[in-house]
Amino acid sequence: MRRGGKALILVMDGVGDRPTEALEFRTPLQVARKPNMNWCARHGSNGIMDVIAPGVPPGSDTSHLAILGYDPSEVYTGRGPFEAVGVGLTGKNGDVAFRCNFATVDDEWNILDRRAGRIGGPETVELSNVLGKIRIKGVKIIVKEATEHRAVLLLRGKELSPFVSDVDPHLLARVAKSTPLVPKAKKTAKAVNDFVRESYLVLKNHPINQKRVDQGKPPANILLPRGAGSFPRIQSIKDKYGVESACVAGVSLVKGVCGLCGMEVVEVTGATGGLDTDMNAKANAALKLLDSKDLVLVNVKAADIASHDGNHEKKVEVIERLDRMVGLIRGSVSPDTIIVLLADHCTPVQLGDHSGDPVPVSICSNNTSKDGVEAFDEVSASLGGLGRIRGKDLMPILLDKMNMSKKFGS
């Protein structure tokens, strides 16, 4: 059997951008000093990619699904299940999962702080345990803390539906009621509302909150679910492509997507999912994984965070750190390893959110024809030989370069 090289996909979350006046109408990728990324561009095929479809701003969950070759419109109903897997909760088909915030409300359920003073650590572990003991008729409740003020709620029972509205109004307003978006979601909406009411009753006088009030901190006196989703039946990457794969990521959402796709999700000390993440530790973990895996996906969130914060200088600085990470990778991988550089979506700093612009992509390998592109950025990549592809095209192209594609016809 023909056997090809291995592949490492480096997803630089939100690194793509638009030209901006603050950078003399260039993008952060065009401004940053990045000799290693440019080396990859020079030694590879380059192009731009509509991760979902032209003009559609992807979330980090749907974008990773598309990059891995799945159709988000088939497997994605909401963010909850991906977040759940990311924090180590294994859901079953039929379960409905929600992302939640511990929040602070007054007696009338007006939200005073959507993040309860960014509570976290042992306090949310304890409060999540307490909430997991809530009993709702016909529905099993599972609650697990996530990072900072976040948690995951999982409902298990018969005839549950993900098609219910959010309880979290996403702003400082009154707590919303969950409503069924389809008739068969009535039971689920009722269970959510019952749970939220119980969460308030259990939390409002809990000793942890009494202590927080004494200390002048906002109490975490309610749990607000949002982003309901059902656990999809996803064919694993192994079954789909016949490759052994793994993922290195800091943020639970990306870990969840990769976990649900059957990739081994590796915990790396120092991979925080924040601006302070240890990029070298991630690179080293990925390099080690390549010994036993065919495909390794590494996600670094930092550029997306700098973009949401509206900070150009920070984004340029993050790109230069990412470049040193690329340097470490390209200096250590075997020559037949394919390195893919891309973003999962553009997050223009000026917009402070994801946009539907295509992202730059570079596939750097020994058996790729060079296309004359000299730099890794939005403009240079658009002139490359890959042309304009969609997210779902990436895996077939990659498998072919790995000599693992199947012939169509005889």
Asked whether the beta carbons of 341 and 326 are under 8 A apart, the reply is yes
Check residue 145 for interaction with Zn ion (CB under 5 A). no
Place of tokens 């307003």: 173
Q: How far is CA 407 from CA 140, 200, 367, 410, in A?
A: 48, 59, 18, 7
DSSP 175: P
Nearer to Zn ion, 4 or 78 (CB): 78
User: Cβ of residue 251: shortest distance to Zn ion, in angstroms?
Assistant: 8
Give the nearer residue to Zn ion in terms of CB position, either 139 or 300: 300
Binding residues for Zn ion restricted to 10-29, rule: CB under 5 A = 13
Nearest to 347 by CA among 359, 363, 335, 332: 359
In angstroms and rounded to an integer, the radius of gyration of the C-alpha atoms of the chain is 22
Which residue lies nearer to Zn ion by CB, 344 or 378?
344
> Shortest gap between Cβ of 57 and Zn ion (angstroms)?
10
Residues between 279 and 338 that touch Zn ion (CB under 5 A): 304
**Non-local CB neighbours of 288 within 8 Å, separated by 6+ positions:** none
Considering the complex, state which of residue 72 and residue 117 has its C-beta at the smaller distance from Zn ion.
Answer: 72
**Number of chain residues interacting with Zn ion (CB under 5 A):** 4
Chain positions 160 to 199 lying near Zn ion, rule: CB under 5 A, are none
**Least CB distance to Zn ion at residue 347 (A):** 5
Answer for which of 46, 60, 188, 209 binds Zn ion (CB under 5 A) is 60
Q: Which stretch binds Zn ion (CB under 5 A): 57-65, 274-282, 286-294, 324-332?
A: 57-65
Q: Which residue is nearest to Zn ion (CB)?
A: 60
> Considering beta carbons, is residue 60 or 230 the nearer one to Zn ion?
60
Give DSSP secondary structure letters for 73-98. HHH-S-SHHHHHHHTTPPP-TT-EEE
Vertex 100: Cα angle to 79 and 129 (nearest 5): 125
Beta strands in 89-244 (DSSP E): 96-105, 111-113, 139-145, 150-157, 222-230
Residue 357 binds to Zn ion (criterion: CB under 5 A) = no
The bridge status of strand 111-113 relative to strand 96-105 is: antiparallel
Query: CB 214 → Zn ion: shortest distance, Å?
Result: 36
Q: What's the min distance (Å) between Cβ of 24 and Zn ion? A: 25
Among 344, 377, 378, 393, interactor with Zn ion by CB under 5 A = 344
Closer to Zn ion by Cβ: residue 50 or 294:
50
Helices (H) and strands (E) in the chain, counts: 15, 13
**Residue 35 Cβ vs Zn ion, minimum distance, rounded to whole Å:** 25
Residues lying near Zn ion in the complex (CB under 5 A): 13, 60, 304, 344
